[in-house]
Structure 1
C-alpha cells in the first residue's frame, strides 16, 4: 500500500509554497542584492518557526531525566484472584498494553546511560479500570554518612549491580509495600518484583567507563535494536505476600523502604509476564511527555502506610503538572483507555478535548446523572482489628538509625562473598574510587558507617582509601 505524501502546511493547516522562502523587504534592485533584506512580521512561516523553536524544550525532570522507553504488553500467567479484585491481574492469558520508561536518576538528559546509578523503572499499564502505574527502582557521601539507614541500597549501587550491561539484563523492585485488595475489602500486603528473563548481566567499572566514552546511548540503542529485530525482552512478575497478622509480628518494619523481605520468609509467587515488543516512534511525544505516579492505582491495589510512598503519591503528579501542565493526563501517552469522567477537572492550559461540554462542573447534579462504582481502592480496605495496628494519634515522626538498619547490609555483604570471587573486592574498589574524591573527614565518617556492617569491609575500605 502506497503511503500518502503529506502536503506541507503551517501549524493552522494553511499550505505554503516553499519551506525555504522568506518574505522580506529589499532596498534597491532585489535581484542584485540578495543578501540585503529586512524581515517582515507578515512572514507567518518565519515567525511561527522561530517562536516555536525557542519553546521546544520543556523543563527537564529534576531526577530521572535521562531515559529509554518502549511499548509492550503484560500477560497474566498465574491466577491471583484470591488476593486481589484488580481485573488486569485476573484471568490467565489476559493481556494489557504497557508503556515502560527506564532511567538513570542523577544524570541530566544526554548523559551516558551506562554509568553507575540507580535505575528508575516507570511502567504504565492501560487497563479496563484505568491506568495502573508502577514507579519502581532497581535500586551523596555526606548525605549517606548522616543518613546511614540507606546503607543497604548504597551497597547495592556500588556493587556490580549498579552498572547493568543493558536494560534487558536488570531486575526491578517495588521497594514500597502495597496492598492487594479483594472485593470484600480484605487485603494482603505485597511487594512486586520484575525479574529479567534474559538473566542478570552487569558491567565492571572499567567496562562501563569504556562504554560511556564509546557510546553514551548504548542502553537506548541496545533496547531499540533488540526490539527492532524481533528479539523481544521480557520480565516475569513475581509477588511476595504477607498477611496482616504476620506483619504485626515481623522482625522488621514492613513499611520501611530500606528493608527487603527475605525470600525464605516470603517466597516469590509468579503472576505474569511483561514483554516489550514495540519501539517508540517519537521519543518526545511518547517518552519525554510520559508521566507516572505511584498514586495511580486501579481497584484491587491500594497504598500501605509507607510514609515514603505517601509522600511520593503527591510529589510525582505535582511534578508532572509543573513540567507538562495541569492537563497532562490528556496527552496520548498518558491518557487512560478506559472511560474517563471527571468534570471537576475543567479548563486549564492545553485542554484539547471537549472539556465536558455543557455538563455541570460537579457531580450529583439534577442536570446530569452520574453513577458510581462503590467503594474501591484505598476506600475499600478493611481487615478487622488489624487496622487499629496502624492507626493512632497524629504526632511528629523522626527516623532513628538502630543496629537493625545494618542487618540487611551485612546479609548482602555475605551474599556477595558467595556470588563470585570478585564481587566483594569490586564493591570495595567501586566505593573507594568514588569516596576517594571526598575530603578526609567524610571518608573517615563513611568507613565508620561501614564498620557497623562488617569489620572486614571497613578494613578493606580503610586500606583502599589509604587512611
Structure 2
C-alpha cells in the first residue's frame, strides 16, 4: 500500500489502465469547434466511472460514520469462552466501528429521534468477528419475518413519498411487543447528543463456549466513558437544520484532536441450563435481562483512535454480518438474530458485491481468508492456479472438524410456532418497569414526545390503539398520554 500511495502522489496522471493522460482539461473534438469524438476514451472513462461512484445505499442504517480503534481485554473470561482475542488480559485487537441511524437515507440529518446502529468488527487472528447491535438493549419486534414490514412503516410511503405517522403507529399499535422499545425511543435517550455520548449493545443473546464445551448465554454492553448526553426534541430540530452532519463531524473532530472516545465493555452471563426456566424468555429481543438477575461482568475497553481516510471506501463499503463468528462464540435461538444471520450477508452481496469481504476494510487483518469461492465482480485473482474444490489432494485448505459453537438441543414438530412464553413474559411488563424508573421530568418529556408523534395520525382508532399499549404498560402512562394527545388533536 505505501508504494502505491507514493506512486500516486508523485507520478503522472493516467487512465484506469495506467496509460499517461496528455490533456485532462479539454475533450477531444472534430476540429476546434466540432462535436466530441467517441474515441476520447479518457473522457468516456471518467464519465462512466463518475456515474458509478455510488453503490445502492443501505435499505436501513444508510446514514452513518465510522472509525478504527482497539479493543483491549481487561478481565479474564477464559472460563466462559475459547475465543482467542479474549484469551488473556492486556491482549489488543484492531476494530472498526460504524455508527448509524436506522430510518433516514444517506443524506438525512444525524440529530433525529431514531435508534443508532452500533456495528463493530473485530479483526481477530481467527477471522473477523462482527457484533452488529444498536444503542438500545431491545428492539421493536422479536421475529425477523416481521422486519421488512416494520421497516416499510419507518421509511417513505410508496404513495406519498413521505414518512407517515399513520404507518408508524398503525404497525406499533398492532404489534404490542414494540411497546418496550418505543418507550425507549421516545424517552430522553431517543436522540443522543453524539455517537460518543451513547451506550452500545449487542442487543441479541449470543452463545459463548469454553475449551471444555460448556455453554453460556451472553449479552454485550458498551458503556460510554464520555457520559450519556442527549438532545431534547427542540434542540435536535435546531441542530439538524443547522448542521445535518453533527454526529459525523463530532466523531471525526474528536479523534483529530486526540480525544479518543472509549467504552467499557461488559457482558451478562447466563449458564445455559438456566435459560429454560428463566422468568423471561432469554432469547426474546424485546426483553432485557435485569441486572439484579445477571450482573455486568467487565471484559474490556474499546477505544476509537483513527479516522477512515475515505468515507466511501471504508464506511459505505464496510459490511457487517452477525453470521461472522469466531471459535468460542455463536448464535442463540433468538428468532430475530436467526433471520439476521442470512439477511445481512445477503444485503451486502446485493449492495456491494459477492467479493465485498475482499475489500481492505472488510477483509481479515490479523489472518488470511482461505476459501474455494472464485470469480464474480471485484474478484482479484488471489487464488492463482489453486484448485477450487474440497476435498482435494493438491494441498488446498480443508475443514477443521471442530464447529465454532456448541450444538443446541431441539425437539418438537416443524411449523410456524409462536415464540415460547416464560413465567413473567408479556409485551408490556418491561415497558412499564422502564416508565416507573423514570423521574417526573423524564416522564413528562416522554409523554410530550409520544403525544406530538401520535397526534399526527389521521384516524382516531390508530391513535387509541397506540395509546392502549402504553396504558397496558402502566395506567398512569396511558392516562397522561391520553390527555396530551387529546389536547393536541382537539
Shared fold per TM-score greater than 0.5: yes
Aligned residue among 281, 286, 289 for 1:253: 281
Q: Distance in 2 between matches of 1:404 and 1:40?
A: 70
Alignment of 1:45-444 (within 5 A): 45-139=42-136, 140-337=168-365, 338-343=367-372, 345-354=373-382, 356-378=383-405, 381=406, 387-388=408-409, 390-398=410-418, 404-417=426-439, 421-439=440-458, 440-444=460-464
Shift of 1:185: 1.9
Q: Distance in 2 between matches of 1:168 and 1:259?
A: 25
Checking the alignment, whether the CA contact within 8 Å between 1:175 and 1:258 is kept in structure 2 is: no
Other-structure match for 1:20: 25
Q: Distance in 2 between matches of 1:263 and 1:150?
A: 21
Shift of 1:371: 4.5
Q: Distance in 2 between matches of 1:336 and 1:260?
A: 32
Q: Distance in 1 between matches of 2:411 and 2:318?
A: 35
Shift of 1:177: 0.6
Q: Distance in 2 between matches of 1:6 and 1:444?
A: 68
Other-structure match for 1:33: none
Q: Distance in 1 between matches of 2:83 and 2:361?
A: 22
Report the count of equivalent residues.
446
Shift of 1:96: 0.7
Checking the alignment, whether the CA contact within 8 Å between 2:391 and 2:398 is kept in structure 1 is: no
Q: Which has the higher contact order (CA 8 A, sep 6+)?
A: 2
Q: Distance in 1 between matches of 2:412 and 2:301?
A: 39
Larger Cα Rg: Structure 1 or Structure 2? 1
Shift of 1:169: 0.5
Question: How far does the alpha carbon of each residue in 1:102-136 deviate from its partner, in whole angstroms, 9 at most, with x for none?
Answer: 00000001111110000111111100000000100
Q: Distance in 2 between matches of 1:5 and 1:361?
A: 39
Structure 2 residue runs of 5 or longer lacking an equivalent are 137-167
RMSD of aligned Cα (Å)? 1.7
Between 184-193 and 221-230, report the one with greater CA deviation: 184-193
Q: Distance in 2 between matches of 1:370 and 1:328?
A: 21
TM-score, normalised to structure 2, is 0.88
Q: In structure 2, the residue corresponding to 1:24 is in which secondary structure?
A: coil
Structure 1 residue runs of 5 or longer lacking an equivalent are 31-35
Q: Distance in 2 between matches of 1:403 and 1:173?
A: 22
Shift of 1:19: 1.3
Shift of 1:399: 5.1
Aligned residue among 10, 27, 34 for 1:5: 10
Between 221-230 and 180-189, report the one with greater CA deviation: 180-189
Other-structure match for 2:159: none
